[in-house]
Amino acid sequence: MGYLFTSESVSEGHPDKIADQISDALIDHFLAFDPNSKVACETLVTTGQVVLAGEVKSDTYLDVQQIARDVIKKIGYTKSEYMFEANSCGILSAIHEQSPDINQGVDKANPEEQGAGDQGMMFGYATNETENYMPLALDLSHKLLQELAELRRENNQITYLRPDSKSQVTLEYNDNNKPERIKTIVISTQHDDFGPEAEMLKKIEQDIKLILIPRIVAKYPHYSHLFNSAIEYHINPTGIFVIGGPHGDTGLTGRKIIVDTYGGKGAHGGGAFSGKDPSKVDRSAAYATRHIAKNLVAAGVADELLVQVSYAIGVAQPMGIYINTFGTSKINISDGEIARIVEGIFDMRPYFIEKRLKLRNPIYSETAAYGHMGREPKTVTKIFHSPYEAAKEITVELFTWEKLDYVDKIKEAFKL
């Protein structure tokens, strides 16, 4: 008998994602002006207010208030009726210097022996059920909201959208663990107050079904077979959704870790990503394990694969690497033996992860909405401004952990 599986996503205007994006914008600016910065920055957003807190060790100074305002403006909170607006919200900074007790475990005389910034376990996952090796339900959930955000910015076909929204997709799988159809789509979108409640809800439902969904089908034709008239839709199921964003719900950095990763597939070690520089293995090792899992699946080792790595604070070598192929392995060795071969291919000491994936670059703002995994690797040029230093123009590679650059090495190691 088959089964149902559900994943959700949230838009860049969701309160928690606003917090993530502000935290990662601060990371990018610190790294742009001082690549050796050590940063752990948390953000809280609520009605008309932003609070920044955390620890920093850096040789640069930033206008953190302006950075936060620029992020809020870019997301789309630019109207006073939202009760949270880029130019008028209050911003309180409680950022202070990083504890030397922590720093002494990370910085070492030999950079290659750089210790892990914290203890913990991190997971990477990949499946060949999609072209980007991501779980299908999450991939669809992200794409629905990315397209909805495009419609909001175009302000042409749909003119009442506000920045806050959520999506959820439930898939039906067959006995062979293959997705067969979309059973349910849930979309809740913030909107202007443009009429009586019944008329607004009818208009929003029609626009989602007749404008958003056809755009998804046209843009992603490889998913078109999943869409049909039998899909059950729940559009703004609670009713009107005028009050939203930080005015409707307080947002905090790090509260959407499942949206950020695999939508509930695989596993998660519990550590958030946004607001952390790459010395924090919560972030860097999670990227590294995704890189391993994706390249292993792409090389044909298995159809589905989970990688776990764990660390002790201040210690360079991981405590161990674990592999689970969920019975989908294509090679005649145990998962434990696969893990031992993987240890010989990928150096999982923090310094080498940073170097391999080029993580000491300002690449994090792009990760802070619509998932850190499954994104397209690309090279971009970014400009960073500071009232204290000359502007920096930096060319960086985004989403390096999504590159399939180890497939040949893996095939050679596993004789594929």
Binding site members for K(+): 42
Q: Which residues are annotated as a binding site for ATP?
A: 14, 164-166, 249, 255-256, 272, 276
Alpha carbon 116 to its chain's center:
22
Q: How many other C-beta atoms lie within 10 A of the C-beta of residue 230?
A: 8
**CA–CA separation, 234 and 211 (whole Å):** 16
3-state secondary structure of 87: coil
The enclosing H or E element of 380 equals: strand 378-384
Parallel/antiparallel/unpaired status of strands 179-191 and 232-235? parallel
Q: How far apart are CA 237 and CA 245, in angstroms?
A: 17
Pair 179, 226: CB distance under 8 Å? yes
Cα 52 to Cα 1: distance, rounded to the nearest angstrom: 50
Q: What whole-number distance in Å separates Cα of residue 257 and Cα of residue 20?
A: 10
> Residues annotated in the binding site for L-methionine, as ranges?
55, 98, 249, 280
Quick check: 330 and 302 in contact, CB under 8 A? Answer: yes
Look at the block and give the residue holding tokens 């009818």: 202
Centre a 10 Å sphere on the Cβ of residue 53 and count the other Cβ atoms it contains: 16
Binding site listing for Mg(2+): 16
Q: Which helix (H) or strand (E) holds 92?
A: strand 90-97
Annotated binding site: 14, 16, 42, 55, 98, 164-166, 249, 255-256, 272, 276, 280
Q: Yes or no: say if 307 and 292 are a contact pair by the CB < 8 Å rule.
A: yes
Residue that is written with structure tokens 């870790």 in the block:
257
Comparing CA positions, the residue from 145, 28, 26, 68 lying closest to residue 396 is 28
Least Cα distance to 338 among 373, 306, 370, 372 occurs for 306
Separation CA 395–CA 374 (nearest Å)? 21
Determine the Cα–Cα distance for residues 415 and 262; give it in Å rounded to an integer. 29
